[in-house]
Structure 1
Amino acid sequence: MSTKYIYLIFSKTGTWLSKTIHAVDKTKYVHSSISFDCNFNRMYSFGRTNPSNPFSGGFVEESLFDGVYKRFPFSNCLIYRIPVTEDQYNLMLNEVEGFMREKKKYRYNFLGLFAVLLNKPFKRKYHYFCSQFVSELLIKGNIYNSNRPPELIKTNDLFFVDNAEVFYEGFVYECKKFNEIYPLSDNFTADAINLTTHEIPISI
């Protein structure tokens, strides 16, 4: 069975929510997304659905080169590449397609986000925050194991997914530059373009 890859994208932008989480949790990256290819034009997560309204949140399709990332090109990001089986890949992709079909039902789990900072799980139907959504997908795909429910998983907990390798770390705008100079493929390795990776932050 052929090996496929998924990508986890961790970031911190200049939005008020990103700044608030960073101020409370003191971790370098506060937002997580998942992508099924290395173009990063279609990443999936939970976040702001209306750029002009900070309280409008839900299931979102993101691009690393548009939207909030275009607004904050000096945002830091860390990208993991994870090898998966074709069955795992298709299972998670089907899960995401289910979210897309019922996109209008989903809302951002603001209460759950702040509850997790207090170590209090708060589950609501059709409500997710970013790391809750990503971790649930990874758990269903048998890629990530945790003794805590998705409602208690933070972005920095996902730094320790098994078999993950650093694909890129740096500014968002530089990732676009590398994508243009070195067309990214699933055969890409960080060493191929001499990227310098950094120590992954751990929040205590």
Structure 2
Amino acid sequence: MEKEIYILLTNTGTLLARSIQLCTGEQFCHVSIAFDSELREVYSFGRKDQANPWIGGFVQEDVRGPLFQNSPCRIYKLKIDEQAFLSIREQISGFMQDEEKYRYNFLGIFAVWFGVPWQRNNHYFCSQFVNSVLQNANVNIINKQPTLTKPADFMEARLELVYQGSIHAYIGTLYRTRRRKQFRTA
């Protein structure tokens, strides 16, 4: 049975995001993986403290929160088999259980810009994390080592684009659609 996961590309406009965007020349500088189209279960590597971009690691992201307010985004759907889906779920659970041991791979960001694969134990940047989880589940949509994966690589992968625009506009559309359905069944 096929399952769906979602790949979310964003640009929060933070200082770090603008710095990455300046170096890459790409519109989107952050990537996350989600288990639902409503983006309630979204995971990545990013800032753990909203006030301090230098404290980063594995995070469950709240795309409805202030960090993502007015963020441009692209949302892609990826159909995978149940075994791959369960593998990804299991990997995410492992990250959640040992969340404190994982750190953001700031040095890895610089290495990827120079084309140098540099794996550091328990350190990931966002695109490295998402591609690692996918490849570990035998979902090979990007033909690169995870340590060399950039957010823009996901735009070139064979994924189904389901939305492009403001993340809050997307969430607003979901809310309005759900309310209409509730109204019709009442």
TM-score of the superposed pair, with normalisation by structure 2: 0.92
More helix by share: 2
Cross-structure match for 2:21:
22
Query: Where does structure 1 lack aligned partners over 5 or more consecutive residues?
Result: 184-204
- In 2, distance between residues paired with 1:146 and 1:170? 24
| Residue-by-residue CA offset, 1:155-196 (whole Å, 9 max, x unaligned) | 11112333x21111101120121111123xxxxxxxxxxxxx
What is the RMSD of the two structures over their aligned residues, measured on CA atoms? 1.4
Give the one of 78, 82, 89 matched to 2:78.
82
AA partner of residue 160 (structure 1) = E
How far has the Cα of 1:147 moved from its partner? 4.4
| Residue-by-residue CA offset, 1:82-102 (whole Å, 9 max, x unaligned) | 111111100111011011110
Cross-structure match for 1:169:
164
How far has the Cα of 1:140 moved from its partner? 1.6
- In 2, distance between residues paired with 1:16 and 1:5? 32
Cross-structure match for 1:138:
134
Q: Are 1:108 and 2:107 counterparts?
A: no
**Secondary structure at 2:52 match in 1:** coil
More strand by share: 2
How far has the Cα of 1:145 moved from its partner? 4.6
Q: Are 1:63 and 2:62 counterparts?
A: yes
Give the one of 148, 152, 155 matched to 1:152.
148
Query: Where does structure 2 lack aligned partners over 5 or more consecutive residues?
Result: 179-186
Number of aligned pairs? 179
Q: Are 1:91 and 2:112 counterparts?
A: no
- In 2, distance between residues paired with 1:79 and 1:12? 12
Is the contact between residue 64 and residue 168 of structure 2 (CA under 8 Å) also seen in structure 1?
Answer: yes
AA partner of residue 175 (structure 2) = E
Q: Percent identity?
A: 36
Give the one of 120, 125, 129 matched to 1:129.
125
TM-score of the superposed pair, with normalisation by structure 1: 0.84
